[in-house]
Amino acid sequence: MQSNTGDLPHTTFPDFPSRWQTQINSTLSEHEQIHAWLEIDLDNRLNFSSGLVVITAHRVLARMANDENWQEWLCREDMKLTCQDHAGVYSIELSDTHARLACWHCTLGRHQAVDQLISCFSRLIATHTVRPNTAAAESAGSKAPDDTSASMDNGERSSASDQEAITAPPSSWTLFRLWRFARPYRWQLFTGFMLMLGSTAAALVPPYLTMPLMDNVLIPYQNGHPIDVDQVTLYLSGLLAAAIVAWILGWARTYTLAKVSERIGADLRTTTYEHLLKLSQAYFGGKRTGDLMARIGAETDRINLFLSLNLLDFATDVLMITLTVVILVSIDPWLALVTLLPLPIIGWLIHLVRDRLRVGFEKTNRVWAEVNNVLADTLPGIRVVKAFAQEKREIERFRTVNRRNVEINDRVNKVWALFTPTVTLLTECGLLVVWIFGIWQVSQDHITVGVLTAFLAYISRFYLRLDSMSRIVSATQKAAAGTKRIFDILDHVSSVPEPVKPVYLPAMKGHIELHNVSFRYGTRWVIQNLDFTIESGEMIGLVGHSGSGKSTLINLICRFYDVTDGSILIDGVDVRTLPIAEYRKHIGLVLQEPFLFFGTIAENIAYGNPAASRKEIIAAARAAHAHEFILRLPYGYDSLVGERGQALSGGERQRISIARALLIDPRILILDEATSSVDTQTEQEIQSALDNLVSGRTTIAIAHRLSTLQEASRLVVLDHGRIVETGSHEELMARQGHYYQLYQSQSRSSNDENRSDTAEKTMDIRSNRV
């Protein structure tokens, strides 16, 4: 290391910011090496500014861009480098046991560098403590850069590639990405294309035939020659034949290509949905349902329409124009040149409007999603809206969004409406040019009247095509915008990825270990450094205020999210290496708000295992104490539930969801406030159903009512994402700590409830007596 850096004493890191290079070199003594560095982007008043913090073997150096000199602190063993984050800003503090020495700030984007800096510093301080003499520290220091630089490199590299993935804008040729979906149908597409070529060519025959008809039949007749009936029959039957061939081929072409595009659209829709369902919970947390529904429904339909109609037409048009140009040039190059003159002008016009239209259509898409969002917000919450009598306000909100919708569409229509008439005008002008040039040419005897007629016949078709081609502009833009929004979903890599080399657990025991687990949601640390083991078959109660990280912990264990730091091991295997679907099959989840899908009760119970026999379903329902109330329903297990289905009470729905969890016979059971939304009576029923469920399984239960956790062998008390206490109910009560306070405050309020209950009862008794 020393010899390597002999000529370049201080360049430990190849990616060290170059603008700091000279400044730092003049400060460092010879052989003093940079162990870690952090480029900070905020000053102490949190204004954007640049600065650098550097750690070498014995000191910490810092300088802001507008400072005169470096500030330095010599490393001492009582020093500590800590960091906190709040509202997207890291505050890094250097302090010793007496006071804070310095404080720096940077934005969250630099978290990896911050982590490196802090871990490097604590390592250095540790070596100082073990071997306080400088010589030893020197030797340790010279060794340290190796591994810091290596780990730093790794960290930086991954962050750099992450950054790239985030910043790279999507290609403007988004539509070509649809090829991925078209590939399976390439032979049908090829056939369709050949049919298109044939039908287009056939359609170009009739104008060509007008030329001999004019020159060989009509004009000689005008000049006194009789009409040659055979020749006329030949030409006219040619016209008829061409029309019939064009008709048959056109039908075959449209049918083949429409069929293919329909399949491409369906594939696109299914693939997007499939991908969407595989995305992590975090993705759904950040999106609104209305928007996602619009993307999968309306956008795929728009793309489909584009492929089957607009693109097909466009391809025909291009083919037609190419063939026409070839024919025109072959007849008379000069006249062809004049005819084609307006083409670039129209092309330029199309290009001009294209941009404005695309922006407009993206806006209409977005505002449309907004309209959907208002609906998706209000309709599920209709009870709240009605209860607070806020219908008017919601209508007003809808009206506002709708007004914006109209406004934006108006703006787009203004540009769009101008477009088609302009093309028509240019068409007329083009025809005029051809007439002028044509008449002059005829008068000069350069061309025959027949040639001019043929040209005019071609040209009117030609410009008609341009007119319809202009429609492709808006359609392409719409479809491209839609494709982009679809690929936004498809390009989103799940933050909970499937393992590359999955590890299969033949039989899961349900032993859970949490190693130094931390989790950050956005800029907020929800869970910090949890270390914790749950034995197989043990029942754990998670206790804590709301917001203490209980539900997040469960989401992490279910792998709805991945840990930010640390690891979760199941039977000694990291959850991230287990195939997701297979792993979740071992988890039974009973939530506070049980969700029933539309379908029969039997289907709902068998949701986790659709192959379950009727016997198994009934057994699960019995164990969940749901059997009897199900039998009381008019159609028993075949009663329809879920949206628009049979109305069930909260307790009943909960017992169905318990039966659902029981049926898959999970090794790990998670009860997230399973009984908190029901009354005490129902709670007892559910509790006994749960007892059946819990036995012999690793169970993690969250409960607001601490009394429901008495079965738990251990209680874990969480506060602000950290474990503050663990132990049985008795132990924790004896400790008189966090749990004791929680319990006390709850029993006090429940006593109050009981007292009022008894008061009511005595009232009842008295009134009865009276």
Partner 1 sequence: MNLFDCKLSRNVFGKLTIMTQNQIPEEVVPVRAFPITAAGEGIALVDNQGHEVVWIDNLAELPATERILIEQELVSREFMPEIKCIDSVSSFATPSTWQVQTDRGETCFILKGEEDIRRLSPTTLLITDSCGIHFLIRDRSALDRHSNKLLDRFL
Binding-residue pattern over the window 518 to 537 for partner 1, x denoting contact by CB under 8 A: ----xx--------------
Please choose, out of 89-97, 252-260, 413-421, 469-477, the segment that lies near partner 1 by the rule CB under 8 A: 89-97
Closest CA to 94 of 70, 76, 68, 69: 76
Position among 488, 691, 752, 757 found at the interface with partner 1 (CB under 8 A): 488
Read out DSSP for 730-770? HHHHHHTSHHHHHHHHHHHHHHHHHHHHHHHHHHHHHHHH-
| 359 forms part of the interface with partner 1 (CB under 8 A) | yes
Position among 23, 49, 536, 577 found at the interface with partner 1 (CB under 8 A): 49
Cβ-contact 527, 518 below 8 angstroms:
yes
Indicate the residue among 535 and 719 with the shorter CB distance to partner 1: 719
Position among 1, 46, 136, 241 found at the interface with partner 1 (CB under 8 A): 46
Cβ-contact 743, 756 below 8 angstroms:
no
Alpha helices (H) in 131-228, listed in sequence order:
134-167, 179-182, 186-203, 205-212, 219-222
| 86 forms part of the interface with partner 1 (CB under 8 A) | yes
CA distance 254 to 309: 9
| 109 forms part of the interface with partner 1 (CB under 8 A) | yes
| 576 forms part of the interface with partner 1 (CB under 8 A) | no
Cβ-contact 588, 670 below 8 angstroms:
yes
Residue 45 C-beta: closest distance to partner 1, Å: 6
Position among 44, 613, 649, 744 found at the interface with partner 1 (CB under 8 A): 44
Indicate the residue among 80 and 509 with the shorter CB distance to partner 1: 80
Residue 430 C-beta: closest distance to partner 1, Å: 34
Torsional sign, CA 299, 300, 305, 310: positive
| 108 forms part of the interface with partner 1 (CB under 8 A) | yes
Please choose, out of 101-109, 202-210, 468-476, 684-692, the segment that lies near partner 1 by the rule CB under 8 A: 101-109
Please choose, out of 92-100, 531-539, 663-671, 757-765, the segment that lies near partner 1 by the rule CB under 8 A: 92-100
Position among 14, 224, 226, 286 found at the interface with partner 1 (CB under 8 A): 286
* Residue 483, SS3 per DSSP: helix
Size of the site for partner 1 (CB under 8 A): 44
| 95 forms part of the interface with partner 1 (CB under 8 A) | yes
Residue 552 C-beta: closest distance to partner 1, Å: 16
| 93 forms part of the interface with partner 1 (CB under 8 A) | yes
Indicate the residue among 210 and 552 with the shorter CB distance to partner 1: 552
Position among 478, 484, 511, 576 found at the interface with partner 1 (CB under 8 A): 484
* Residue 150, SS3 per DSSP: helix
| 378 forms part of the interface with partner 1 (CB under 8 A) | no
Please choose, out of 223-231, 283-291, 456-464, 752-760, the segment that lies near partner 1 by the rule CB under 8 A: 283-291
Residue 98 C-beta: closest distance to partner 1, Å: 6
CA distance 718 to 713: 16
* C-alpha separations of 274 from 263, 270, 279 in Å: 16, 6, 9
Cβ-contact 485, 344 below 8 angstroms:
no
CA 367 remoteness from chain centre: 19
Position among 123, 356, 720, 722 found at the interface with partner 1 (CB under 8 A): 720
Of residues 290 through 319, those in contact with partner 1 by CB under 8 A are: 291
Please choose, out of 13-21, 46-54, 233-241, 585-593, the segment that lies near partner 1 by the rule CB under 8 A: 46-54
* Residue 720, SS3 per DSSP: coil
Cβ-contact 718, 702 below 8 angstroms:
no
Nearest-5° Cα angle at 554, 596 to 626: 35
* Buried residues in 522-547 as b, exposed as e (16+ CB within 10 A): eeebbbbebebebebbbbbbbbbeee
Nearest-5° Cα angle at 350, 346 to 353: 135
Indicate the residue among 386 and 393 with the shorter CB distance to partner 1: 393
Indicate the residue among 5 and 107 with the shorter CB distance to partner 1: 107
Residue 413 C-beta: closest distance to partner 1, Å: 17
Position among 22, 48, 223, 224 found at the interface with partner 1 (CB under 8 A): 48
Indicate the residue among 100 and 186 with the shorter CB distance to partner 1: 100
In this structure, what token pair is assigned to residue 119? 């871990």
Neighbours of 372 (CB within 10 A): 21
CA distance 218 to 556: 87
CA distance 146 to 189: 58
Give the 3-state secondary structure percentages of the chain, helix then strand then coil, rounded to 5: 60, 15, 25
CA distance 85 to 524: 8
Residue 3 has phi, psi (to 5 degrees) of -70, -35
Of residues 150 through 209, those in contact with partner 1 by CB under 8 A are: 166-170, 172
Indicate the residue among 50 and 577 with the shorter CB distance to partner 1: 50
Footprint of partner 1 (CB under 8 A): 41-42, 44-49, 86-89, 91, 93, 95, 98-100, 103, 105, 107-109, 111, 166-170, 172, 286-288, 291, 359, 362-363, 366, 484, 488, 522-523, 719-720
